[in-house]
Amino acid sequence: MQARLLLEDGTLFTGKSFGAEGELTGEVVFNTGVTGYQEVVSDPSYYGQIVTMTYPLIGNYGISRDDFEALVPSIHGLVVRRYEPIPSNWRAQYSLGDLLKEHDIPGISDIDTRMLTRKIRQNGTMKGIITTSSVKSVEELQAMMASVSVEELHNQVASTSTSFLYHNPGAKERIVLVDFGAKNGILRQLNQRGCDVVIVPHDTTAEEVRRLNPDGIQLSNGPGDPKDVPHAVQMISELLGEYPIFGICLGHQLLSLACGADTEKLKFGHRGGNHPVKELATGRCYITSQNHGYAVTEASIAGTELEITHINNNDKTIEGVRHKKHPAFSVQYHPEASPGPQDNNYLFDRFLEMIKEHKQQNPKRSRQAEMMAVAKGEL
């Protein structure tokens, strides 16, 4: 079946369909990963986006139930050069095309993804629409695309609507994970370190977090512009200094905004598993997994109580910050994704060390809060 991809600048690509039938609008972006297409498709940070994979062969190892970052895929479309419908891997349970069909996500193959990627790099991300209809005109597709804004696409946060607990028998630390579109990898890392994890919605208030009596707060990744989540910025600013805080991706941007810094939209963002990041304290370069369209501006750090800890070796954008007085730090990339030979999981260990130090410095607060929570029946 034929499929078409129309960009808002009028560029039209014609290829083959390998996903669901119909049409869907999204923000067209590109990912430079060689592997990991299943993690990309299921990453909530991609909500509302049509993802172009720059690696030419996609689908060759199929889909495994163990590799999802969320239960339901979040992308609005997938663009590849060549799609392999018959996976060749012992872990494969079904094909990528079957996954897209199951969740009504269109896919298009056999187009020049190199040209498309160059266009995005030169002109920036833009809206697009994928369709399998052969009767809809370009004018009709343009009208459909114009009726949807990028803000609408991103603001539908793929977050939990209720709080729930992942209990770890014998756990010493309780972490509140604020879900702005959290990946399962973050939960895995915290569970592997013996933590109880309470996952809460993105609109949870500071007082609601306090009632849970956490030892630390994890701010997750998520889609869109951090300035569209002002309630989270308010919550973080109220809790700053009370509890250790670790932010990832969108969580990094929200922590920075809560501390008085500013953010801006990048021309085409960072998306892939091969972005070099330098840790300033050690001079060491890490290969990182990234997925974001916004970044904290360097000029806005001056005058705040933040200091820069990591920078991107490609474009020198800020990749990590730390609060000078309070136990809080964040990174723009995904340490749970482990893309390089020297993985970034040590940041979770650093978070737990920060929690232990904070508890040692504030023993009365921790015990009193625990007793009060027990008395109120909250624990």
27-74 pLDDT per residue, tens: 999 999 999 999 999 999 999 999 999 999 999 999 999 999 988 898
Our answer to whether residue 336 is catalytic in this structure is: yes
| Catalytic site residue from 154, 310, 334, 358 | 334
227-257 pLDDT per residue, tens: 999 999 999 999 999 999 999 999 999 999 9
185-202 pLDDT per residue, tens: 999 999 999 999 999 999
Q: What is the dihedral of CA 72, 74, 79, 81, to 10 degrees?
A: -50
The single-letter DSSP state of residue 299 is G
Strand ranges for 233-327 from DSSP E: 245-248, 263-279, 284-296, 306-312, 318-323
pLDDT bracket for residue 156 (50, 70, 90): low
List C-alpha distances in Å: 54 to 47, 113, 170, 273: 19, 6, 45, 12
Q: What is the pLDDT at residue 371?
A: 47
| Catalytic site residue from 23, 27, 39, 336 | 336
Q: Structure pTM?
A: 0.92
pLDDT bracket for residue 161 (50, 70, 90): confident
Residue 77, both tokens: 């479309």
306-331 pLDDT per residue, tens: 999 999 999 999 999 999 999 999 99
| Catalytic site residue from 39, 84, 249, 292 | 249
Our answer to whether residue 259 is catalytic in this structure is: no
Our answer to whether residue 323 is catalytic in this structure is: no
Does the pLDDT at position 379 exceed 70?
Answer: no
